[in-house]
Amino acid sequence: MRKGITQAKRIVVKVGTSTLTYANGQLNLQRIERLVREISDLHNRELEVILVTSGAIRVGANRMGMKKVPNTLPEKQALAAIGQGALMQLYEKLFSEYSKTVAQVLLSRGDMDERIRYLNATNALLAMLRMNVIPVINENDTVGVEEIRFGDNDTLSAMVAGLVDADLLIILSDVDGLYSSDPREDEQASLISQVEEITCEMEANSTNRGSSFASGGMFTKLKAARMCMASGTAMVIANSQELNVIRRVVAGEEIGSYFAPREKKMHARDRWIAFGRLLQGKLFIDAGASNALLKKGKSLLPSGVTRLEGEFERGAVVAVIDNDNQEIARGISNYNSSEILKIRGMRSSQIKEILGEKDYDEIIHRNNLWVEY
């Protein structure tokens, strides 16, 4: 029994393309109907529910009689526009059978980068919840350019969970959850019921797992889990084919994989900085600095930085990468990239001599650093 989950009041449910459609691209009506019924039932219990849905591109392709989703971006964008309407029409019809009102929300990654737009999105979603409406969210695929796209709805759903400070994110997929290895190749693979920490090994094992229509696979689900765990939101990956899957997950039943949240919820503004803002660069650090950050709760000093990627200004959000090429933290840089190029590897006492002035001892101050995010 997963006790923490049973207290959840605000729940985000994400469904993938492989859940909503058959392998031939046609809608899996039975599954969509079950999903709508379960969500409506949660809503009847006065839980707040947000649905993050994929499937627009695939449904659009199907409408146009295409067997496969084309590879070019403009075509995908066009299909998203065609499919999104069709998908919404279906949700509208099915939810209205249970007297539920839905609201379509299309988000872009770029909407999250600016504080005011991020807050606007939060406020609009909260207003919908107050109106007793079920927001149905997808990425705004039609106008998204590559650099500012979520690219997959797993990441989008974790971002949405952060926006509204949800208690639980349920990712419904065509797999049972996270396995110790790929179950299609390894008979010994076992389902991991509870995850306290996402390891490099889990991530390395997850790169090419996913069905042909989904953008994500396990890799993006782990990325979503990282965001949720750090923010203090519980997350469960479960198989959409399980009967009454949503109700059972919410009841705390041990199905699928549960990603335990940190005890302390991340402050809303920190969540925006760590996950909402677009990354501007990467700082690579040595083992001593990783240790100081992770174990001793210290700031990042110039001496621990070995190299950097990207051109950025002071105040940019950068990723901190350790010796194993693993992102271990994110933070706001006190110095711009050309200054860091000059002071990396140096002692803080040398900063003035090198740059002609010293505003800060540290490259990222502890207060602006989110470790093991």
Distance CA 155, CA 12 (A): 12
Figure out which of the listed residues 21, 108, 142, 215 binds ligand GLU, where binding follows CB under 6 A: 215
Asked if 169 is part of the footprint of ligand GLU (rule: CB under 6 A), the reply reads: no
Residue with Cβ nearer ligand GLU (163 or 369)? 163
Taking CB under 6 A as the rule, which mask of x and - marks residues 72-91 in contact with ligand GLU? --------x-----------
Asked if 216 is part of the footprint of ligand GLU (rule: CB under 6 A), the reply reads: yes
Nearest partner of 323 among 274, 371, 296, 283, judged by Cα: 283
Residues that bind ligand GLU (rule: CB under 6 A) add up to a total of 16
Residue with Cβ nearer ligand GLU (24 or 367)? 24
User: Counting every residue, how long is the chain?
Assistant: 373
Asked if 55 is part of the footprint of ligand GLU (rule: CB under 6 A), the reply reads: yes
Distance CA 285, CA 330 (A): 12
Place of tokens 């271990």: 328
Strand order in the sheet with 317-321: 305-309, 281-285, 317-321, 327-332, 369-371
Residue with Cβ nearer ligand GLU (215 or 280)? 215
Figure out which of the listed residues 19, 153, 240, 290 binds ligand GLU, where binding follows CB under 6 A: 153
- Widest distance between CA atoms in the chain: 71
Asked if 334 is part of the footprint of ligand GLU (rule: CB under 6 A), the reply reads: no
Burial (CB count <10 Å: 0-12, 13-18, 19+), residue 75: middle
Count CB neighbours of 200 within 10 A.
Answer: 11
Minimum separation from the CB atom of position 344 to ligand GLU (A): 37
Asked if 105 is part of the footprint of ligand GLU (rule: CB under 6 A), the reply reads: no
Distance CA 102, CA 90 (A): 11
Residue with Cβ nearer ligand GLU (211 or 348)? 211
Figure out which of the listed residues 15, 57, 171, 235 binds ligand GLU, where binding follows CB under 6 A: 57
Classify 120 as helix, strand or coil.
helix
Residue with Cβ nearer ligand GLU (153 or 334)? 153
Residue with Cβ nearer ligand GLU (52 or 308)? 52
Asked if 122 is part of the footprint of ligand GLU (rule: CB under 6 A), the reply reads: no
Asked if 140 is part of the footprint of ligand GLU (rule: CB under 6 A), the reply reads: no
Asked if 214 is part of the footprint of ligand GLU (rule: CB under 6 A), the reply reads: yes
Minimum separation from the CB atom of position 139 to ligand GLU (A): 4
Minimum separation from the CB atom of position 13 to ligand GLU (A): 14
Asked if 56 is part of the footprint of ligand GLU (rule: CB under 6 A), the reply reads: yes
Asked if 139 is part of the footprint of ligand GLU (rule: CB under 6 A), the reply reads: yes
CA angle 224, 239, 262 (to 5 degrees): 35
Nearest partner of 373 among 228, 257, 233, 269, judged by Cα: 228
Distance CA 263, CA 268 (A): 15
CA dihedral 285, 292, 351, 344 (to 10 degrees): -10
Minimum separation from the CB atom of position 330 to ligand GLU (A): 23
Nearest partner of 138 among 155, 126, 123, 153, judged by Cα: 153
Figure out which of the listed residues 38, 43, 91, 141 binds ligand GLU, where binding follows CB under 6 A: 141
Footprint of ligand GLU (CB under 6 A)? 16-17, 54-58, 80, 138-139, 141, 152-153, 214-216
